[in-house]
Structure formats: C-alpha cells, structure tokens
Amino acid sequence: MCGIAGIWGTADAATLERLLNRLAHRGPDGRGIHRVDGVGVIGSNRLAIMDPAGGAQPLYSEDRTIAAVVNGEIYNAPQLRDQLAATHRMATGSDCETVVHLFEDCDHAAFGLLDGMFAAAVVRGSRLVLARDPLGIKPLYYAWNGRLGAGLRLRFASEMHALADAPDPITAMPPGGLFDSERGPGSFSPGGAALPMPEPLADDPDEIARRLAEAVRKAVRSHLMSDVPVGVFVSGGLDSSIVAAVAREHLPQLHTFSVGCDGSEDLEKARVLAQILGTDHHEYVFSVDEVAAELPRIAHHLESYDRYLVTNAIPNWFCARLAARHIKVALCGEGSDELFAGYTYYQKYQDPAILNRELHRTTADLHQTNLQRVDRMTMAHGVECRVPFFSRDVVNLALAIPTQWKLRDGPGGARFGKWILRRAFDGLLPDEFIWGGKRNFDEGSAITTVLDAAVAKAAETAGVSLKRHRRKYEYRQLKRPAEALFHYFMTQEFGGQSPVLDGVARWSRDCIREPHEPLPPPAPPRRRGWRAWFRR
C-alpha cells in the first residue's frame, strides 16, 4: 500500500518530489523513484505491509525493462505467483510484483487477472500505462493535456490535491479504467463496464446462503494476508461483526476498534462483540471540542464537501487515528448495504427489477462516495483499510442474488434488509448481532448529535459566516452548514475556482423511481439580478 505519483512528457524530478511530499501520509515507510531520461518519472511513498524488508517500490521485471509502482493489495497473488513461477523469477515477497510480470506477459489484459484493490503505474521503455481496479476501491487521478506522443503532458497521483497546480484539467480514473501514453484513455474491463449486471440466480435461498457464506469467508481470509498486525473496525452492526467473527477464526490475536460519543450505541455493542470474540479491543470517545478542532484536517484529506461523506468521515477519522497506534492493516464492513439492500430507503421499492437497478447504481457509485471516504480517512493516518465485501467473487455473487432474498421478512415478521446475508451467517453470533436492528454509522456513533455544534465552533474559530459562504457559492448547492464549512476549508486551501473543487464527487440524490412515484418538486429558482449579487 502506498501513494503513487508521476509525470510523463518530461522527467521533472523536482515536481515529482513535490507531488510525493503531498502524499507522504499514505506511505511513511520509504520512497522510491524510477526515471526515464527525457521522458518521465514515477514514484511511490510506501506503507510496508507485504515483505516489509524486501518489497520496496518501484518493482522491476528480471531484465529491468519494466518498472511499476502500485497502490493496493492483490489478494490472489499467491495463486498468481505459483503460475508465474514457471517462467519468471520473483525477486521479492510483495504481492504487487505479480503486476510487473503479468504485464510483461499480457500487457493491458494483466489488470483483468488481478483480484484486489489497486491503482498502478507501469513503465515499459518510453510507454506509461495507468490502471485502476474494477470497483474503484483505490483512487487514481490524472491531469492530461489531451495529446499523445511527443506532445503528451501528464501528471498523476493518488489524491487530487497533489495535482492542484497541474496545468491541465484533473480527471478521476474510472473503475476498470486505464490510460496508455501511446493510446490514451481506455478500459481493461470486458465491454468497458466495470460492474457486471448478471442474470438472477435460480437457486433456492438455502443454497444461495451457503454459497454466500463460503464467498464471504474466503474473502475475509484472503484479506488477512499481511506481514504486519491486522485489525477490524467494528460498530456492533451486522457487517463489521461478521468480518470480525470470521477473521477471529483465523487469527490467534485480533485487534478491534470502535469510536463514538460517550454512551453511543456503537461503543456499547462493539464492547459486547469484543467480549464474545475475545479480541484486543480499543475504543475512543470523542467530544464536540475535539471534533471541531479536527475538522480542518478532515476536510483536507477527505477532498469532498458532500454532507453524507462529511458526516461519516468524522468517526472514520478518529477510528483510523486510534488504529494507527496498533496496526497498519484494518478490515471493515463497507459495501454490504449497497450489495444487499441494507439502507432503509431501499424498502420503499415494490418492483424487484427497479430495486435491483437501484442497488446496482449505488454500488457502482461507491468509488466516488463511501470508498473514497474510507480510503482518505485511513490513509491519512498510514493505515490500509480493506473491504472484503467488495472482493470480486462476493460482488459477482451478490449482484446475481434476486432482490426477494435481500429484502424480506425475518424472525417475528419484521422486514429486514440484507436478509440473505443474515441467513448465511445465522448462528455465527448471537441473534442481537445477526437479526437485531442497528442504526447507520453516523447515528450509531452519535456524530449526528454533536456535528452541528462542532461545525458552529469550527466556523467561529475560522472567522467565517457559513450563511454568507453558502450564498456566495450558491451554484455549489451547499445544503447544510457542514457542507458549507468543508467547502470553505477547501476554497481556503485551493481557491474558489480550483480544479480540485470541480472534481469533488457527491452522492447522487436522483434515486431510481417506481413508475407510480411522482416526480420530485422542482428546485427553487436561483436568485438573479442586482439584489442577489448585493446579498453576496
């Protein structure tokens, strides 16, 4: 795991150092650079997880004609290494070395053979190829002048702010996307679609539950691959509890982490879970004053002002900060709600086909919402967070499960989201964890009870009127004070017209509607004329 960056079109080592310095938090364990004279330079800040002593990047082919820097984890690396051993000599124990040798053999097709989360830059001679995993778990951005060949000018980095002074527009690499310095943007995913839409399974629920349990267990086991200590972020909810329980079956020692306001539901349920599993449990209680003090740093690293991301990023920030004192690798339950209809609003859907489309839409959007939040908040503290529910096999199976087995009546007649996931792990833990209800992360951690006060305090400290700021940037549609505050912090850092702000992703409010649903009311007209200008 690391932060990667590079420049192509000129071997400007000084600018690369500046990019890498802005990404230093992602990789505190070392820096490596590969230079092609007169052509380009790539580099990496390393977070040492696999082969800490010998797995430094860049990684090279045997004849050193291919170099790569990779941010991520390749979970099928053990199987790939066995296959590659017949024709290649592995120089390190790094899982990411498989990327180099696969590219040597298969070119672009190599990326489709990887089961994992990754953003990679591979150099072969004067050619640069960038690629991002099919689900967009790991981030990758580039600024390109739109030309190829001798006129190409390109910069890339793991985070947007590293490219803030790039001379060209910033583009987020799409999931399953790639950029070839000889061919331009493209995709290595079949048909260009990173997220498949498989035909629904015809199996009975017992068989589906069995297959799902097997897939999730396999995913958690593969995500424990590490040469450094591993932990799990737990909230006492279904998803993180399953991940922790399965992980504990394979690890003699497991660290678990939970945060919240004093007396919050997450803290209480996580304590009980830790006692049941016998984990080394750590918790942190945050206050209004502490949240207010941390908001500027959270805004810098989040690279978003979307209110949903902001609210959930705060407990994520404190959990990652706590975990960094004990581990470098953490697992979490992210992605399950979108795959298995866990959010309350999914229950409004009556048409299974429309619900299925909405689940597919929100899952496909995760790379620019919750997955971005998880990556930024953990990597800000030098912690790699892994998402077992987003392993290739689990996602492919989940998308094929009919919605009638995701949203269904459970014990006692209550309607449950994630019904098939609960069925798959029924008996793993007491019913309160498998069949009990739990509020969302922001509510369970009680951040919603302190957020407004923390935002007001931080705004007062910064000397900004959020109402005035919302009027000034009316076109950004800053719906809540927290959005206005985070947007203000970003404008202070980058300027109001920065390409970084233009690249901010936000939750789509345009949910897929049932045929009988009325259209939403039109947005109020924007104020115009001299009075609107004067009020700014």
Phi, psi for residue 259 in degrees, rounded to 5: -135, 165
Peptide bond into 58 cis (omega under 30): yes
Residue type, 500: V
**Residue 251 to residues 244, 246, 323, Cα–Cα distance (Å):** 10, 9, 17
- How far is it, in rounded angstroms, from Cα 138 to Cα 117? 6
Q: What is the 3-state secondary structure (H, E, C) of 396-423?
A: HHHHHCCHHHCCEECHHHCEECCHHHHH
DSSP character at residue 465: -
Phi, psi for residue 529 in degrees, rounded to 5: 90, 180
Looking up tokens 């040798």 gives 101
- How far is it, in rounded angstroms, from Cα 147 to Cα 280? 54
| Three-point CA angle 369, 370, 374, nearest 5° | 125
- How far is it, in rounded angstroms, from Cα 235 to Cα 258? 6
Residue type, 524: P
Residue 178 near residue 114 (C-beta atoms within 8 A): no
- How far is it, in rounded angstroms, from Cα 332 to Cα 368? 18
In terms of phi and psi (left: phi > 0; alpha: psi -120 to 50; beta: otherwise), the region of 492 is alpha
Q: Inter-axis angle of helices 392-400 and 205-223, to 10 degrees?
A: 160
Catalytic residue among 2, 96, 319, 332: 2
Burial label, 511 (beta-carbon count in 10 A; 0-12, 13-18, 19+): middle
In terms of phi and psi (left: phi > 0; alpha: psi -120 to 50; beta: otherwise), the region of 278 is left
DSSP character at residue 344: G
- How far is it, in rounded angstroms, from Cα 91 to Cα 34? 17
DSSP string, 10-55: S--HHHHHHHHHHTGGG-TT-EEEEEETTTEEEEEEE---SSTTT-
Give the helix/strand (H/E) hosting 265.
Answer: helix 265-277
Residue 192 near residue 396 (C-beta atoms within 8 A): no
Give the helix/strand (H/E) hosting 283.
Answer: strand 280-285
- How far is it, in rounded angstroms, from Cα 507 to Cα 499? 19
- How far is it, in rounded angstroms, from Cα 111 to Cα 309? 29
- How far is it, in rounded angstroms, from Cα 26 to Cα 205? 42
Q: Is-catalytic flag, 261?
A: no
- How far is it, in rounded angstroms, from Cα 216 to Cα 282? 25
Residue 401 near residue 200 (C-beta atoms within 8 A): yes
Just list the catalytic residues: 2
